[in-house]
């Protein structure tokens, strides 16, 4: 039976067959910790007296806060520097750029390699045909120490793009269209491979844009087979000939999805949900306060050149601000040499140091309450970049909109902008719950918090402004602090309570804090219809009990008294006097839970 790309990579990095849904240990070629996650990685390694498996293939990247302008970020960065010096680990410091981009710009990763990072968009390495996975700090600490980590071999979905889009359409528009069609959890638990004439025409930068948004669809990774352009990239950049990687002709796919992109016009995602995508023409005319061009999705040199071509000899609309952040220092320097920085500055834009920018609270890209931003980033979760409303679009659409002062496309830039509107939102609170206790290690009893919401992301669970907190005991008060209607959850929740939520819980970032905050509050169990892939790993690895139960939010009522047996999967609703049986703990999950976490025991 033929193998998919991810099966081939896993089998080349393990001593076993990569059978779908089997859990196997996979050797990791490159492992990276970033500035906010790195401090916790160091803590885990030092507290557990763990070694560094291979310092030459282990790195730190300080890309979230290149300025070190937040005191806690600066402390965490210095903590990682000291640790790296002790162990001979290379640091790509605050002057380097986004770690996942450095992985291929610096020639650290090649097609067929494996890569992990505390960055939930590490799967952009799929653009090369390499395996990249964002992970929590426990996972990455384990990879630092042992050079391998467990994975469940995911099934693969084949995506075929048919037709040719409009001339003004970019790879960002294509991936927004894919996100719309598949939804926020359409790739949940899956790898994907992308094919079609349009895909074959893409440069590395275009592939990166599409691969980077696998996370926004719940996917493990979007993989591209090696083509001649990728071969040329390595020949021209590093003077080497690489070995290509492709799926077998008879590879087995869970399903094949064909998407017609014929004449597709520029696309845009409306605030709050990257899958809420429409044609730009449908929201044209909405005033904007600011714009952002950058991120791991659209901070490449091609993106900078495209924006400069639109902004040349023009000035952004009065009263607006455009923020531009190249992905790496190499790209920043290319912008300098080509005169792009002068074009940006002459147009009135703010150019930041290479890095992640708006995705992290410590660098430019944040928004104020009522601010409307159009961004080339990959996420627009509520609160992700401050309190404003964020539309996602291509760098070209962002540049055009900032010249216009409102959302528009490059072929419809008017001569005069219009005023900006400001909108506000309101919040609700919920009643206090009674204290509940754990019955036994594998059986818990507690009152249910039934939250009828899907796609609750990690910024809703634990906002990025608190990421610099490294002591898990201090994380509890911020739980659900950015989930509308549940801002008081941390004050009202009682020890032993059980959280019941919908699909794709914990999608988004790789932050471990989104798990540890529940542990700090004494929450005994999280039951979800499905979990984000990284979140599920983080919960299991930290010993936080989780269960998957399809349709559970429709079966239970808020405040019901539940008794749950992890080993059998039986959920007894003592209030309604009825029981349900769901999939119990796997042996691996039970073992990790009983020893107090992956690094415990």
Q: pLDDT tens digit string along 301-337?
A: 999 999 999 999 999 999 999 999 999 999 999 999 9
Query: What confidence tier does 356 reach under pLDDT thresholds 50, 70, 90?
Result: confident
Q: Sign of the C-alpha dihedral, residues 41, 45, 46, 47?
A: positive
The number of C-alpha atoms within 13 Å of 176 and in the hemisphere containing its C-beta is 31
- The reported pLDDT for the residue numbered 426 is 57
Q: Quick check: 420 pLDDT over 70?
A: no
Q: Quick check: 416 pLDDT over 90?
A: no
Q: Quick check: 427 pLDDT over 90?
A: no
Measured between alpha carbons, how far is 394 from 309 in angstroms, rounded to an integer?
A: 14
Structure tokens at 358: 């708006």
Q: Quick check: 579 pLDDT over 60?
A: yes
Measured between alpha carbons, how far is 149 from 23 in angstroms, rounded to an integer?
A: 10
Plot region of 569 (φ>0 → left; ψ -120 to 50 → alpha; else → beta): left
Give the H or E element holding residue 343.
Answer: helix 340-346
Q: Quick check: 423 pLDDT over 60?
A: no
Q: Sign of the C-alpha dihedral, residues 268, 255, 552, 384?
A: negative
Query: What confidence tier does 431 reach under pLDDT thresholds 50, 70, 90?
Result: very low
Query: What confidence tier does 111 reach under pLDDT thresholds 50, 70, 90?
Result: very high
Strand partners, 328: 97
pLDDT in tens, 255-275: 999 999 999 999 999 999 999
Query: What confidence tier does 360 reach under pLDDT thresholds 50, 70, 90?
Result: low
Record the pTM. Answer: 0.85
3-class DSSP state for residue 492? helix
Can you point out the beta strands (E) in 267-332?
267-269, 277-279, 290-293, 321-324
Can you point out the beta strands (E) in 431-575?
438-440, 443-450, 498-501, 525-528, 546-548, 561-565, 570-573
Measured between alpha carbons, how far is 15 from 517 in angstroms, rounded to an integer?
A: 37
Do 392 and 269 contact (CB within 8 A), yes or no? yes
Instruction: Report how far apart, in Å, the C-alpha atoms of 55 and of each of 47, 106, 247, 589 are.
Output: 19, 17, 32, 30
Structure tokens at 521: 């509050």
3-class DSSP state for residue 589? helix
Q: How many residues are present in the chain?
A: 601
| Domains of the chain, earliest start first | 5-260 (3.30.499.10), 267-404 (3.30.499.10), 438-594 (3.20.19.10)
pLDDT in tens, 44-102: 999 999 999 999 999 999 988 777 666 778 888 999 999 999 999 999 999 999 999 99
Structure tokens at 599: 């690094």
Cβ within 8 Å of residue 434, ≥6 positions away: 447, 494
Measured between alpha carbons, how far is 82 from 78 in angstroms, rounded to an integer?
A: 6
For residue 553, how far is the Cα from the chain centroid? Answer: 25
Measured between alpha carbons, how far is 299 from 303 in angstroms, rounded to an integer?
A: 6
Cβ within 8 Å of residue 339, ≥6 positions away: none
Cβ within 8 Å of residue 587, ≥6 positions away: none
Q: Quick check: 421 pLDDT over 90?
A: no
Query: What confidence tier does 546 reach under pLDDT thresholds 50, 70, 90?
Result: very high
Cβ within 8 Å of residue 132, ≥6 positions away: 100, 103, 109, 114, 115, 116, 117, 122, 123, 124, 125, 126, 221
3-class DSSP state for residue 419? coil
What one-character-per-residue DSSP string does 432-477 give? ------EEETTEEEEEEEE---S--BHHHHS-GGGTT---GGG-GG
Measured between alpha carbons, how far is 20 from 450 in angstroms, rounded to an integer?
A: 33
Measured between alpha carbons, how far is 374 from 228 in angstroms, rounded to an integer?
A: 34
Average per-residue pLDDT in the chain?
Answer: 92
Instruction: For the chain, state the CA radius of gyration.
Output: 23
pLDDT in tens, 382-406: 877 778 899 999 999 999 999 999 9
């Amino acid at each position: 039976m033929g193998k998919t790309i991810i099966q081939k990579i896993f089998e080349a990095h393990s001593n076993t067959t990569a059978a779908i849904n089997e859990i196997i240990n996979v050797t990791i070629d490159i492992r990276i910790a970033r500035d906010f996650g790195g401090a916790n990685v160091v803590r885990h390694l030092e507290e557990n007296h763990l070694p560094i498996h291979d310092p030459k293939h282990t790195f730190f990247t300080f890309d979230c806060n290149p300025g070190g302008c937040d005191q806690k970020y600066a402390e965490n960065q210095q903590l990682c520097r000291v640790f790296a010096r002790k162990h001979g680990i290379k640091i790509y410091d605050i002057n380097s750029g986004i770690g996942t981009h450095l992985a291929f710009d610096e020639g650290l990763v090649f097609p067929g390699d494996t890569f992990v990072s505390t960055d939930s968009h590490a799967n952009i390495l799929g653009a090369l045909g390499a395996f990249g996975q964002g992970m929590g700090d426990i996972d990455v600490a384990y990879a630092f120490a042992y050079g391998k980590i467990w994975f469940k071999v995911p099934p693969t979905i084949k995506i075929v793009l048919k037709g040719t889009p409009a001339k003004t359409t970019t790879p960002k528009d294509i991936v927004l269209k894919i996100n719309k069609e598949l939804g926020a959890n359409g790739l949940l638990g899956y790898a994907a491979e992308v094919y079609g004439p349009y895909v074959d025409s893409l440069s590395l930068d275009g592939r990166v844009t599409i691969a980077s948004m696998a996370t926004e669809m719940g996917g493990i990774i979007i993989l591209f087979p090696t083509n001649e352009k990728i071969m040329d990239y390595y020949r021209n950049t590093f003077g080497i000939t690489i070995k290509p990687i492709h799926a077998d002709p008879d590879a087995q796919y869970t399903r094949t999805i064909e998407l017609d992109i014929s004449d597709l016009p520029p696309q845009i995602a409306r605030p709050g949900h990257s899958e809420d995508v429409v044609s730009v023409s449908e929201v044209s005319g909405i005033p904007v306060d600011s714009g952002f061009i950058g991120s791991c999705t659209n901070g490449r040199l091609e993106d900078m050149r495209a924006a400069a071509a639109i902004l040349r000899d023009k000035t952004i609309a009065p009263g607006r601000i455009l923020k531009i952040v190249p992905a790496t220092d190499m790209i920043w320097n290319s912008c300098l040499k080509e005169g792009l920085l002068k074009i940006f500055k002459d147009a009135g834009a703010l150019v930041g140091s290479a890095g992640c920018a708006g995705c992290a609270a410590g660098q430019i890209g944040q928004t104020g309450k009522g601010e409307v931003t159009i961004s080339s980033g990959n996420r627009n979760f509520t609160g992700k970049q401050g309190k404003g409303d964020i539309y996602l679009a291509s760098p070209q659409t962002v540049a055009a909109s900032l010249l216009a002062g409102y959302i528009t496309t490059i072929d419809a830039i008017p001569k005069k902008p219009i005023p900006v509107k400001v909108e506000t939102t309101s919040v609700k609170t919920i009643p206090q719950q009674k204290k509940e206790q754990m019955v036994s290690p594998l059986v818990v009893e507690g009152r249910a918090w039934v939250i009828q919401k899907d796609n609750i992301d990690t910024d809703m669970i634990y906002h990025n402004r608190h990421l610099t907190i490294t002591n898990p005991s201090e994380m509890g008060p911020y739980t659900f602090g950015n989930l509308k209607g549940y801002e008081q959850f941390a004050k009202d929740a009682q020890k032993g309570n059980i959280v019941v939520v919908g699909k794709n819980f914990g999608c988004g970032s790789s932050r471990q804090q989104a798990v540890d905050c529940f542990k700090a509050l004494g929450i005994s169990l999280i039951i979800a219809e499905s979990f984000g892939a990284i979140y599920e790993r983080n919960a299991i690895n930290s010993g936080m009990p989780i269960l998957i139960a399809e349709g559970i939010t429709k079966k239970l009522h808020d405040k019901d008294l539940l008794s749950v047996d992890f080993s059998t999967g039986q959920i007894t609703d003592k209030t309604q006097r009825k029981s349900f049986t769901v999939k119990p703990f796997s042996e691996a999950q039970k073992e990790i839970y009983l020893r107090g976490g992956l690094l415990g025991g």
